[in-house]
DNA sequence: GTCCTTGCAAAACATTTGCAGCACC
DNA sequence: GGTGCTGCAAATGTTTTGCAAGGAC
């Protein structure tokens, strides 16, 4: 699993004459291991904990590079720092965020493509990508006994 | 038009013993006038230009308060600062951002409610709100002669 | 008059840059 | 041995806080 990403990453780096160095490897490994959509500080602290000596500046530079090469993706959630995840091929999903504990879950059902052309005709934009985030309460934070009705959207 | 928001704002402020002061009024007026989804710096500079003397700290505090009272809303776009807009009642829309010039357009077609319950059943979350952002090229930035086909999403 | 609110300055925090030394072909 | 990469420290940029003075009610 992780190997697919790693091989693809090596290839993308090589193609632009970048090296697969320890910090770069660490960031990819960390993201492959931690499914929790860490932010830049989580990355820094997590990597520093396992392998002392990495600097904050290096994490910023590494993340920028991996983003640019499409090896990782950034997700933007309401009022928080950017969070990062690996960019698996053909993995189209969105995020569901618990307003109480902050836990992030992924969901795949996305019917945006089906209305995309309609919006393109109305706005005359050419749409290239999109992001959808839903906010609510996760099963753990949801008081027991309440049902799952949809309102206030 | 603007009066509706202003009256609602006054009422919400009064109810919590806050006053309708000049900076608060300026932020509301600025957002009513400028449709361009300004960020915090735009607000600061725009307001300072018309009425000298406002401080950055005040803009931060004002925006926080107006957000808390639901008088304005924040929108989170990829890799940029938070942007703000007035919170009109019953106005459900999303944003379409030009990747080249940064221009933000609104669109109203949103069929997320119809799949919301499906996602709630799968994830066991209770969904309370959502945000959808689309990124692409606006008509001005789109090279002439190209068509509006949908791909790479 | 009483609080709340403000602007300014300073503090705290986040991000970027410059650079000498290291690591890897 | 040349090139790119790193960690550190310093510079820069952003947000928050403390506080005395001013303003809304």
Provide the CA A63 to C1' C18 distance, Å, integer: 20
Question: How many C-beta atoms surround the C-beta of residue B144 within 10 A?
Answer: 5
Answer left, alpha or beta for residue B129, where phi above 0 means left and psi between -120 and 50 means alpha.
beta
Q: Same structural domain for residues B23 and B67? A: yes
Which of residues A52 and B63 earns the better pLDDT score?
Answer: B63
The least confident of B35-39, B62-66, B143-147 is B143-147
Report d(CA B84, CA B8) in Å as an integer: 18
Q: Categorize the per-residue pLDDT at B15 as very low, low, confident or very high, splitting at 50, 70 and 90.
A: very high
Q: Is the pLDDT of residue B68 over 90?
A: yes
**What percent of chain A is predicted at pLDDT more than 90?**
67
- B127/A82 CB distance under 8 A: no
Among B53, B39, B13, CA closest to B102: B39
Q: Same structural domain for residues B2 and B61? A: yes
The least confident of A20-24, A120-124, A149-153, B95-99 is A149-153
Q: Same structural domain for residues A84 and A14? A: yes
Is position A152 within any domain? Answer: no
Q: B82 and chain A: CB distance < 8 Å anywhere?
A: yes
Q: B21 and chain A: CB distance < 8 Å anywhere?
A: no
Give the angle subtended at the CA of A113 by the CAs of A108 and A115, to the nearest 5°: 125
Q: Is the pLDDT of residue A56 over 70?
A: yes
Buried b (16+ CB within 10 A) or exposed e, B18-37: beeeebbebbbebbbeeeeb
pLDDT tens digit string along B127-144? Answer: 999 999 999 999 999 875
Q: Which two tokens stand for residue B123?
A: 């994830």
pLDDT at position A151: 39
Q: Same structural domain for residues B127 and B71? A: no
Q: Which residues from chain A sit within 8 angstroms of residue B142, using beta carbons? A: 124-126
The DSSP symbol for A139 reads T
For chain A, how many structural domains are there in total? 2
Is position B148 within any domain? Answer: no
Mean pLDDT of chain B: 89
pLDDT at position A149: 43
Task: Look at residue B36 and give its three-state secondary structure.
Answer: coil
Q: Categorize the per-residue pLDDT at B7 as very low, low, confident or very high, splitting at 50, 70 and 90.
A: very high
Q: Same structural domain for residues A37 and A83? A: yes
pLDDT at position B145: 44
CATH code of the domain covering residue B112: 3.30.1490.190
Is residue B59 within 8 Å of B47, Cβ to Cβ?
yes
Report d(CA B21, CA B80) in Å as an integer: 29
Q: Is the pLDDT of residue A96 over 60?
A: yes
Q: B17 and chain A: CB distance < 8 Å anywhere?
A: no
Among A1, A44, A2, CA closest to A23: A44
**What percent of chain B is predicted at pLDDT more than 70?**
92
Q: Categorize the per-residue pLDDT at A73 as very low, low, confident or very high, splitting at 50, 70 and 90.
A: very high
Mean pLDDT along residues B77-85: 87
pLDDT at position A1: 60
Q: A101 and chain B: CB distance < 8 Å anywhere?
A: no
Nucleotide nearest to B21 (CA to C1'): D24
pLDDT at position B56: 97
Q: What is the dihedral of CA B123, B125, B128, B133, to 10 degrees?
A: -30
Q: Same structural domain for residues B7 and B31? A: yes
Mean pLDDT along residues A80-92: 90
Q: Which nucleotides of C are covered by protein (CB under 7 A)?
A: 4-10, 14-18, 24
Q: Is the pLDDT of residue B149 over 80?
A: no
Mean pLDDT along residues A139-144: 82
Is position B15 within any domain? Answer: yes
- A125/B77 CB distance under 8 A: no
Query: Would the Cβ of B57 be found within 7 angstroms of any atom in strand C?
Result: yes
- A125/B119 CB distance under 8 A: no
Q: In terms of residue numbers, what domain contains A62?
A: 1-88
CATH code of the domain covering residue A48: 1.10.10.10
Q: Same structural domain for residues B41 and B11? A: yes
Nucleotide nearest to A65 (CA to C1'): D5
The least confident of A26-35, A141-150, B79-88, B101-110 is A141-150
Q: Same structural domain for residues B75 and B129? A: no
Report d(CA B29, CA A68) in Å as an integer: 39
Q: Same structural domain for residues B71 and B37? A: yes
Determine the straight-line distance between the first and last CA of chain B, rounded to whole angstroms.
Answer: 38
pLDDT at position B153: 39
Mean pLDDT along residues B2-25: 92
Answer left, alpha or beta for residue A79, where phi above 0 means left and psi between -120 and 50 means alpha.
left
Helix (H) or strand (E) holding A50: helix A40-50
């Amino acid at each position: 699993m992780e190997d697919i990403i790693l091989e693809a990453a090596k290839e993308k780096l090589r193609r632009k004459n970048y090296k697969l160095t320890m910090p770069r490897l660490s960031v990819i490994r960390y993201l492959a291991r931690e499914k929790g959509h860490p932010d830049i500080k989580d990355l820094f602290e997590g990597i520093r904990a396992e392998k002392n000596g990495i600097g904050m500046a290096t994490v910023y530079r590494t993340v920028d590079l991996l983003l640019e090469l499409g090896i990782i993706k950034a997700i933007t959630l309401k009022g928080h720092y950017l969070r990062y995840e690996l960019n698996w091929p053909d993995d189209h999903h969105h995020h569901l965020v618990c307003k109480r504990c902050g836990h992030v879950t992924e969901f795949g059902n996305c019917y945006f493509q089906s209305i995309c052309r309609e919006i393109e005709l109305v706005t005359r934009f050419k749409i290239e990508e999109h992001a959808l985030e839903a906010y609510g309460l996760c099963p753990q934070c949801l008081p027991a006994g309440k049902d799952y009705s949809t309102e206030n959207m």
